[in-house]
Amino acid sequence: MKIAIAQLNPIIGDIDYNLHKIRHTLSLASSQGAKLLLFPELAICGYPPKDLLFYNSFVQKINHSLHKFAQEIPSEIQVLIGTVTPNPLAEIQGEKPLYNSAALLANGGIKELFHKRLLPTYDVFEEARYFSPGSRPNYFNINGIKIGVTICEDLWNDESFWGKKNYPSNPIEDLMEADLIINLSASPYVCGKQKIREEMLSHLARNYHKPIIYVNQVGGNDDLIFDGYSFSVSKKGEIIARAKPFAEDLIYVEYNPKEKDLSPLLPPHPLYKQEEEEIYNALVLGVKDYAYKCGFSKAVLGLSGGIDSSLVATIAVSALGKDNVLGVLMPSPYSSPHSITDAQQLAQNLGIKTEQLPIQDIMNAYDDVLYPLFKNTEFGIAEENLQSRIRGTLLMAIANKFGYLLLSTGNKSEMAVGYCTLYGDMNGGLAVIADLPKTKVYSLCKWINRNQEIIPENVLVKPPSAELKPNQKDEDTLPPYHILDDILERYIHRRQSPEEIAKAGHSPETIQKVITMIARAEFKRKQAPPGLKITDKAFGTGWKMPIASRWYK
């Protein structure tokens, strides 16, 4: 039996758009002789739909569209697709009103419905807010083949792999009668996650002697990036098929009833060899989809001649094309000459248009207006930040005037400790590298330059500086970035205590300083634009910390 695995990029809430893609994929799969076509979790509405699910009209349109699409299914193929379905027992039993479901479509109708059993509520997931869990094992038969159905999290609770359980039940253990297990997913990208997925499914396949097919959503949705990478494993745990990363794809596998196993029809698409290449392609997809799905075709950003803006500009060109990216240079009296020449060289290497808007006259105007209040005070952080806020205002004006998407360029290290200016360099519609530590910014830029110099060499070697006062360097305020990033990794990602971090060789004074800065910067992060998530703990929907608190003392 030939099985088609459809890895699609939906637009959340645009059911007509999504169904157009689904119909086109059905036509292709049917023409290639597939007998079963698989789509990702919530493929009809896109994942995650969030509070759109509270609108009855939205849910009704999903179900109306599902029934209409079911009538179009040719008799020679069956379709398993992720959708939202009402919970008829919700009012009687006080449950959530919806299920996260997989619908089996065949013979012009909805043949069966299967409901997701494990509903994640950690990190970026809030599924218990909307859905009731399914309560029974999910099976269906096709041509005498018994197929078990799981949805995303249902696969992620096997004690033999993780060494613990996060939920009372393990849906895989309840599918021992299945010949084949299918998983419909919308699993967000985190750097290195595909390796874990494949290790986990290979372990499950070997442990339970079942072949498994995993079909994942692809695309950028707000701060989340979905990498796709749909794949299949044989009952021996061998990877027999793998779809492309960060792109739509349609791949096929063959199920052999005699062997009760899957066999490949084409070699698996290779994994990335370098982490930097994987991250870069993730960020490119994130920018491309955010712009497209929000209605932007062009982007603007400030070019400071620094490494962060250089990286963001390079990503933007890969995502949108060089003719659709504008770089704005805004020198002040404190800008070094090489900042301008480095920015200009970068723009020339990328082939993007630039504009130069000196800000000294605007700074003078601010000084004149504020003089009655600021007289008899020393130059300080308020005056420094005015420069950043002038630049942010100019960039927003350009974005508003011409309908550009403003990309902010702050990295994760700066966002963590608040080394950024609210209503200044934090202005923007999308924070491209907000989940990328400074040390990783450098390694990514070196990867970009692996074959030819795109980012000027001087950008990579000069000391980082905000250039808001004479001879300023980041290390005047912050620990060296290799120290800062290690502390941030241990504190934010591993949740280590100050005492545990100190065992790695960091001074207690530096650790406490960093932790205090993290806490005090929370109000800034709450007002930041969405930042593309590439790690397991990003400042975004999965970071839920109080602002008015004193836990860091």
- Convert the pLDDT of each residue in 271-295 to its tens digit: 999 999 999 999 999 999 999 999 9
Tell me if 525 is assigned to some domain: no
Q: Do you know the residue count of the chain? A: 553
Same domain, 283 and 313: yes
Same domain, 84 and 213: yes
Same domain, 225 and 156: yes
Same domain, 262 and 283: no
Q: How far apart are the first and last CA of the chain?
A: 63
Give the pLDDT score at 71. 96
Q: What is the pTM of this model?
A: 0.95
Tell me if 460 is assigned to some domain: yes
Residues 6+ positions from 349 with CB-CB distance below 8 Å: 453, 454, 455, 456
* Burial degree of 38 (CB within 10 A; 0-12, 13-18, 19+): buried
Number of compact structural domains in the chain: 2
Tell me if 246 is assigned to some domain: yes
Give the pLDDT score at 244. 98
Distance from the Cα of residue 451 to its chain's centroid: 27
Domain boundary among 474, 499, 519: 474
Q: CA–CA distance from 9 to each of 18, 22, 249, 252, 447 (Å)?
A: 8, 10, 9, 18, 27
* C-alpha–C-alpha distance, residues 17 and 21, integer Å: 7
Tell me if 132 is assigned to some domain: yes
* Domain hosting residue 441, numbered range: 277-474
Tell me if 519 is assigned to some domain: no
Give start and end residues of each alpha helix (H) in 15-82: 15-31, 56-70
Domain boundary among 446, 474, 502: 474
Same domain, 249 and 284: no
At 519, list the tokens.
């806490």
Give the pLDDT score at 553. 64
- Which residues in the chain land under pLDDT 50? none
Give the pLDDT score at 187. 97
Same domain, 91 and 148: yes
Same domain, 210 and 301: no
Give the pLDDT score at 15. 97
Q: What is the CATH number of the domain that holds 216?
A: 3.60.110.10
Same domain, 200 and 292: no
Q: What is the CATH number of the domain that holds 458?
A: 3.40.50.620
* C-alpha–C-alpha distance, residues 51 and 53, integer Å: 5
Tell me if 108 is assigned to some domain: yes
Tell me if 24 is assigned to some domain: yes
Same domain, 227 and 94: yes
Same domain, 237 and 297: no
- Active site positions, annotated: 41, 116, 152
Same domain, 281 and 217: no
Contacts 24+ apart (CB under 8 A), 269-275: 269/242, 269/243, 269/244, 269/245, 270/242, 271/194, 271/195, 271/242, 271/245, 272/245, 274/447, 275/191, 275/192
Same domain, 228 and 316: no
Tell me if 499 is assigned to some domain: no
Helix or strand holding residue 96 (H, E): none
Q: What number of other Cβ atoms are within 10 A of residue 407's Cβ?
A: 29
Residues 6+ positions from 15 with CB-CB distance below 8 Å: 44, 45, 61, 62, 65
Domain boundary among 474, 509, 537: 474
